[in-house]
Structure 1
């Protein structure tokens, strides 16, 4: 029996193991969604916003390592996909976006809703084509999938509304042959790296998500070199647990021990990381970088030697060439400083902190209304979460509290918009995680600004009974923007959010809502949420004046913060 273009596309997705397509239905894609309706093994997840669909597809791709698929129809529907697709692209997630297009005879006529998809998606995609004839199928579909998988990026297929229902001649079948190959640097380069490393007493490792398959090899290397491991945020799920060399993160969300481990080293060994913040790299040490992507070598900091290859294979090949290091002074100093900092952070997060003498004095300045401290929320979630929980985090202060107070255990996973830095990513990514892994606990650290930006898709979680737990840090603020303004010496402006009772909103939408307003209610509220079936929103009223101190405070930042506080005190209160 002859197949249509849309049926061939859907059959190809099923053959590649795709079980969900996220999107909003629309006229140009009606033949595609109808083919999904009639095909076993694949389901349409109807989101309320296409941006949510793209974020969800990217999340599923990152968690499974397989292709994620989203869809948006002509014009506005396709445009709405862009933010989530940029996040997937910058996260190296293989995603296929199926977009509608106007009928072929109307292309280029400024038809109703027409946009130039080939131009629109050019920057975000590794493959971008419009299917204009059944004769291009199944080859274009195969090329799109292979490009997304092999190049770990976004592929876009645009489908005019009159092309999808057309029949393809013969018995078309989508076949994908591309299997990414792992590589290892040459012996010559490995010998050069060993020559640079051997004899160095102070080596620090900066490890990222690209080292996720090399955990044992990296830990073995750290032990041999007596090297502290500074972990990027995306590397937390790999290196947080059972790691005696761990010294946490650097950057704005980091800690002094990690900063010192970098600044004090003679040699920095970067493994599987494209950590983007140039100001936080040390100046002076020799740098060796291992990365599977050649374009990543040296684009963040000066590199003395680059090794292009799979992290695990490269470290395993390098290790026998290294003499090791008998001195543990550099490692012990860094680990001791990290543990001391960590104990202090947990003291701040204790529920009764503000009732102790020091905490009570501090609260007079930064928490006069005795709101719940966000550190306490993150620490309580850390204690109550399942061992296999999947965490997502909104960009901003939600990510700060997760990075500092959630210590990942083996089997737990982490997602966020850590490269694009988008708002509103946590709930959509939780939807993608929950559809990909319906039997696992999914916990979203949501900022109130991020959650309310795409609030309507709580209805998606309700519709599909997804067991997502949305923990809202409700400080009635765009918290990170407030902090940025104050560090620059500017008074807070434009950041205040007059929120409703978000738990009540969730209840009205069909989810379970829990509102927590007192520190003593926190554990009970979270435990109730985690024990409940289906989606739950926990609206926690947190302190809007909480300050996250970075690992290294520059004099200008401290002075700017002081000036901003004076300006905020002197100005009229009705400012926002």
Structure 2
């Protein structure tokens, strides 16, 4: 006879799954109820919130919530889905976690063993998840396996910074826990135990010495910071000041450093700034810190710069640019090792040149935000938030033109966390991220930045989740910005509006048309077709606060009203779809002409210097 719970009911394998999650101190599980995982959901409810179950409107949102939880907390995100289409819908969030290197565990239901081969909603789950969860994918066959498999799924996700998957058939979940199994910290077949102590990873001494020599020898050093630089801001700034380097960030690395630094050129790449492109084009030495930024067209020309790369994952080294000294290690520990080896020096010509480029870029950015537009300039909306963003805020960003405006026009105060679906670039991730961020720190304000396409993709549904949960939050500040440009198809990377057609061209079909019966009182097909969907009205219908902004003079006041509101607020900014995205010019020209002394160097001279440094390094010469 199986063990019984405190309430007297039989303790099942589903209860055992929940107990293992509690042993790992998992705070919450995101999911969408379904037959295949119904017993786990029931067990979570019996657990009384330890861990809590957070139901989403759709499994894809649950996957993004789990990924968002991992990004904002540094812990492991857990998502739950039933078999068949439920499992399919998790893939977006799991691929997001895989490509951005975050630990997520998917627990997926399956039909009973006896029905496999001809079951309703049957999908070959091992084949479905074999790529995205390649580090760990198991199907539980007997109850004695379950504690070990749950532990290994979590341990592998954390240690490899990737998603893992455990499939548990429905009939197994309902079985009683055998009497011989320890309670609740062991399996009857294989011992299981929670916990994974963090490791300290630093490069070898000789590699640190080689890297320090290269960086000390550089006359025009550029530092590119990615999300792997989190927690190392002080060391990055100290090193940059010591060698008078300029600093750019990847899109994912934007929150790492204080963006007000005079030598911080901003984000690199198509969504980035001209100053960052110019920094890369003019450097002779490149230090990459925790970044796998894909915009290789904006890196220095191969051969132009000697390069050092720091990354905790050795498989990412030298995948974006030829690297002379690769360093496997934690960013903070590795930078401390370099600082011990690199003396301070004065190279003000290069630093002055960079700061001139930064000043010019910031002046141009402000001018673009203030430029007149039809209704509201979308750049202005993000620009006006910069001075009002609380220092303890969390920010989530969706995919689309809003990504450009966030990268260039929102200046993040130090300490503000900001995350987006950076590498997968899947529309509809920001609001699920925001829910996860708020649940992880309900006493902090959260800002979700979306376009109208993302809002239609998942935001309209997941706003229901916000409406249901916000009364539990001690701080009700949860602000959703929807940039409504009436062009649901516009995304980052698509041709800019000027390439799609003239300003006064008739509005084209967007795929959002809906038939409405005459006299229904609902938006007409013409209204919906032109993008005039009442997003703020939908928020008010759910009991939230809704603000519609269609004039530039209302923008600042709208942000202030939203931040002061006693409930979550949706700001619908009706913006000009014809504002061009303006990717920075390809960096074929360097920083020449920006400084009074003409501190630039042409590509041939930079490549020649890089070759000399490499030759001297190969012969063991002192590069200092």
Q: Does the aligned pair in 1 maintain the 2:66–2:104 contact within 8 Å?
A: yes
Where does 1:199-348 land on structure 2 (aligned, <5 Å)? 199-241=217-259, 243-283=261-301, 284-348=304-368
| Cα distance between partner residues in 1 of 2:45 and 2:222 | 54
Q: Does the aligned pair in 1 maintain the 2:297–2:586 contact within 8 Å?
A: no
- Where 1:167 maps in the other structure, the secondary structure is coil
- Listed one character per residue, the Cα deviations across residues 330-385 of structure 1 (whole Å, up to 9, x for unaligned) are 121112211221122113323xx43xxxxxxxxxxxx4xx3100111101222222
Quote the residue 2:72 is aligned against. Answer: 63
Quote the residue 2:107 is aligned against. Answer: 98
Quote the residue 2:14 is aligned against. Answer: 6
How many angstroms does 1:140 deviate by? 0.8
Total equivalences in the alignment = 538
Where does 1:531-570 land on structure 2 (aligned, <5 Å)? 531-553=564-586
| Cα distance between partner residues in 1 of 2:97 and 2:377 | 32
- Where 2:75 maps in the other structure, the secondary structure is coil
Which of the numbers 474, 481, 505 marks the counterpart of 2:484?
474
How many angstroms does 1:401 deviate by? 0.9
Q: Does the aligned pair in 1 maintain the 2:274–2:585 contact within 8 Å?
A: yes
| Cα distance between partner residues in 2 of 1:488 and 1:271 | 36
Which of the numbers 375, 378, 394 marks the counterpart of 2:379?
375
Q: Does the aligned pair in 2 maintain the 1:184–1:308 contact within 8 Å?
A: yes
- The CA RMSD measured in Å over matched residues stands at 2.0
Q: Does the aligned pair in 2 maintain the 1:228–1:246 contact within 8 Å?
A: yes
Quote the residue 2:518 is aligned against. Answer: none
- Listed one character per residue, the Cα deviations across residues 228-263 of structure 1 (whole Å, up to 9, x for unaligned) are 011112222121346343111121111121111111
- Listed one character per residue, the Cα deviations across residues 24-43 of structure 1 (whole Å, up to 9, x for unaligned) are 11111111011111113222
Question: Does 2:447 correspond to 1:443?
Answer: yes
Question: Does 2:31 correspond to 1:23?
Answer: yes
Where does 1:402-413 land on structure 2 (aligned, <5 Å)? 402-413=406-417
- Where 1:404 maps in the other structure, the secondary structure is helix
How many angstroms does 1:481 deviate by? 4.2
Quote the residue 1:424 is aligned against. Answer: 428
Q: 1:546 to 1:131 in 2, by over 3 A?
A: same
Range 186-195 or range 48-57, more displaced: 186-195
Range 11-20 or range 293-302, more displaced: 11-20
Q: 1:414 to 1:486 in 2, by over 3 A?
A: closer
Range 132-141 or range 169-178, more displaced: 169-178
Question: Does 2:476 correspond to 1:463?
Answer: no
- Listed one character per residue, the Cα deviations across residues 464-513 of structure 1 (whole Å, up to 9, x for unaligned) are 11642110010011474497335996659765753311111222233222
Q: 1:439 to 1:482 in 2, by over 3 A?
A: closer
Range 423-432 or range 335-344, more displaced: 335-344
- Listed one character per residue, the Cα deviations across residues 500-552 of structure 1 (whole Å, up to 9, x for unaligned) are 11111222233222111111222222222222233221111001001122221
- Where 1:485 maps in the other structure, the secondary structure is coil
| Cα distance between partner residues in 2 of 1:92 and 1:247 | 26
Q: Does the aligned pair in 2 maintain the 1:349–1:375 contact within 8 Å?
A: yes
Quote the residue 1:566 is aligned against. Answer: none
- Listed one character per residue, the Cα deviations across residues 377-408 of structure 1 (whole Å, up to 9, x for unaligned) are 10122222211111111112111111112211
- Where 1:550 maps in the other structure, the secondary structure is coil
Q: 1:227 to 1:437 in 2, by over 3 A?
A: same
- Where 2:173 maps in the other structure, the secondary structure is coil
- Which segments of 5 or more consecutive residues in structure 1 lack a partner in the other structure? 355-366, 556-576
Quote the residue 1:568 is aligned against. Answer: none
| Cα distance between partner residues in 2 of 1:488 and 1:504 | 30
Q: 1:248 to 1:95 in 2, by over 3 A?
A: same
**Under a length normalisation based on structure 1, what TM-score does the superposition of the two structures give?**
0.89
- Listed one character per residue, the Cα deviations across residues 410-431 of structure 1 (whole Å, up to 9, x for unaligned) are 2211010111111111111111
- Which segments of 5 or more consecutive residues in structure 2 lack a partner in the other structure? 5-10, 186-191, 503-507, 513-528, 589-624
Quote the residue 1:569 is aligned against. Answer: none
Q: 1:495 to 1:339 in 2, by over 3 A?
A: farther
**Under a length normalisation based on structure 2, what TM-score does the superposition of the two structures give?**
0.83
How many angstroms does 1:134 deviate by? 0.4
Structure with greater Cα Rg: 2
How many angstroms does 1:178 deviate by? 2.3
Whose helix proportion is higher, 1 or 2? 1
| Cα distance between partner residues in 1 of 2:490 and 2:348 | 38
Quote the residue 1:389 is aligned against. Answer: 393
Quote the residue 1:398 is aligned against. Answer: 402
| Cα distance between partner residues in 1 of 2:30 and 2:500 | 41
| Cα distance between partner residues in 2 of 1:495 and 1:228 | 43
